[in-house]
Structure 1
Amino acid sequence: MRAYGLTLATVFLATLSLGSHAKALGQNDRYVCSWGSDIAAGAQQSKLAGVTLYSARKRLQARKFPKPWMRMTAMGITEQTYNSQSRLKPAAIKQTYYEQCVHHAVARR
């Protein structure tokens, strides 16, 4: 069966490859990618629900973050999500963000 020009075997191999890359990453990189994907999914959910960027940013300002860099990073992720034309479901955004983050972290090594 073909889906968008990809065979199921190709998709399966890509998934296995991503899994092996994620295992090769350190715990900190996996945590950062997972955290960022949660922020992106939350921003997409807010965007689709009609919450304004201003309101989403105010929520982030009021939120407590365990590390100092997280607040500004969350603001950036949220702004990029709102600026995107994407209407994908939050779960798809979360998966896409995580996959791209892992690929970036692996390429950075």
Structure 2
Amino acid sequence: MRTIVITVATLSLAILASGVQARELSKSHRFACTWGSDIAAGAQRSKLSGVSLYGARKQLQVRKFQQPWMRMTAMGITEQTYNSSSKLKPAAVKQTYYEQCVRHELAQR
């Protein structure tokens, strides 16, 4: 019984700490992670629907981006997504990308 109480308390602290860390990310870092996760989900959607990597890259070439860095970053994310053997649904790819991006940004500090 005592072990369970300690484990629950430890888990509660870990959840609280992760919430605090997520809030520590700047608005621009949260935007970049959200934007990247959207690109990854779109690439996974294209891949699963049978669009070739060439076709996906061509779609990105004609797309308008807000910032100059976005086009090449989107190309890289798309290529990595296509090179992955993952068959996850786009929503799962989006969530995974976002979580790993946040973890990466926090680790940089």
1:11-56: per-residue Cα shift (whole Å, max 9, x none)? 8876655433221100000000000000000000000000000000
Unaligned runs of at least 5 residues, structure 2:
1-8
Using the TM superposition, give the Cα deviation of residue 81 of structure 1 relative to its aligned residue in structure 2, in angstroms: 0.1
TM-score, structure 1 length as denominator?
A: 0.85
Q: Which amino acid aligns with 2:70?
A: M
TM-score, structure 2 length as denominator?
A: 0.85
Q: 1:84 corresponds to which residue?
A: 84
Q: Which moved more, 1:19-28 or 1:34-43?
A: 19-28
Q: 2:66 corresponds to which residue?
A: 66
Tell me if the contact between 1:47 and 1:53 (Cα under 8 Å) persists in the aligned partners: yes
Cα separation, 2, equivalents of 1:53 and 1:102: 26
Unaligned runs of at least 5 residues, structure 1:
1-8
Cα 1:105/1:55, change in 2 over 3 Å: same
Structure of greater Rg: 2
Cα 1:10/1:43, change in 2 over 3 Å: farther
Cα separation, 1, equivalents of 2:34 and 2:68: 17
Identity of aligned residues (%): 69
Cα 1:100/1:53, change in 2 over 3 Å: same
Cα separation, 1, equivalents of 2:14 and 2:84: 25
Q: 2:3 corresponds to which residue?
A: none
Tell me if the contact between 1:21 and 1:102 (Cα under 8 Å) persists in the aligned partners: no
Matched positions, count: 103
* Structure 1 segment 19-58 matched on structure 2, within 5 A: 19-58=19-58
